Structure 1
Amino acid sequence: MHKVENLKIWSKAIELVKKVYLLISELPKDEKYGLVSQIKRSSVSIPSNIAEGAGRNSNKEFKHFLSITNGSAYELQTQIILTIELKLLTKEKVQPLIDNCIELQKMNYSFQQKL
């Protein structure tokens, strides 16, 4: 088992969730049950799956949850891009979040290789 609070990837994922929540507060209210809900779920899923994996009994199980984490990071990245494509937010506003998603994806891949 790994102590989740000591994992840099988990801390970065928590920071990403906080940034996502700040950004989505700018989305239209009529997206509350659509894109906003999806973005919230996928962003929260990232540190949640890291934590769940860290609490498992083997590195093999942990890797499985990191795989799910990666899927959620790509899902979030896609949803953020959709906010640009749908002209809900500007690229300049969301690019830092896209960059954070890509950084987490790379960190996750490296971490999986080390386990």
Structure 2
Amino acid sequence: MHYRETMLWQKAMQAAREVYRLVPRLPREETYGMRSQITRAVVSIPANIAEGWTRESSKEKAQFLAIAQGSLAEVETLLTLCEDLGWFPPDQTRTLRGLLDEVSRMLTAMRQKRRNA
């Protein structure tokens, strides 16, 4: 199976699109701050899933999945800060939060499965 066919990668891509839908709401002065940070972090999730998927060794695969999980935690933290500062109303981040939760659960399950293999 190709990584593009996995629900994990597809959901991560959907989360990335959601972030790009939200970032225009950020203040202009955050173009090189929060906007740059959150978009880099969210793009890192599907990118690392894809890169890990194509690696030969289990150790390398696990490392890239761990990086994707870390990037996901970074996005959740930045999203919370944006909500706390009033830049993203929580009702407009609900879809993104749901996607991040799904991706996080899938990544955790995949990482546990690899450890137990």
How big is the shift at 1:55?
Answer: 1.2
Please list every run of 5 or more consecutive structure 1 residues that lacks an aligned counterpart in the other structure.
Answer: none
How big is the shift at 1:96?
Answer: 2.2
Match of 2:38 in 1: 39
Match of 1:86 in 2: 85
Match of 1:112 in 2: 111
Please list every run of 5 or more consecutive structure 2 residues that lacks an aligned counterpart in the other structure.
Answer: none
Report how many residues are paired: 114
TM-score (norm 2): 0.91
Deviations 1:57-110 (A, max 9, x none): 122211111011000000000101111111112111112212221211111001
Distance, in Å, in 2 between the alignment partners of 1:58 and 1:40 is 29
TM-score (norm 1): 0.92
Match of 1:4 in 2: 3
Distance, in Å, in 2 between the alignment partners of 1:60 and 1:113 is 13
Match of 1:98 in 2: 97
Match of 2:58 in 1: 59
User: CA RMSD, aligned part only?
Assistant: 1.2
4+ long deviations beyond 4 Å:
none
Distance, in Å, in 2 between the alignment partners of 1:15 and 1:63 is 22
Distance, in Å, in 2 between the alignment partners of 1:56 and 1:89 is 37
Q: Report % sequence identity.
A: 37
Amino acid of the structure 2 residue aligned with 1:58: S
Match of 1:77 in 2: 76
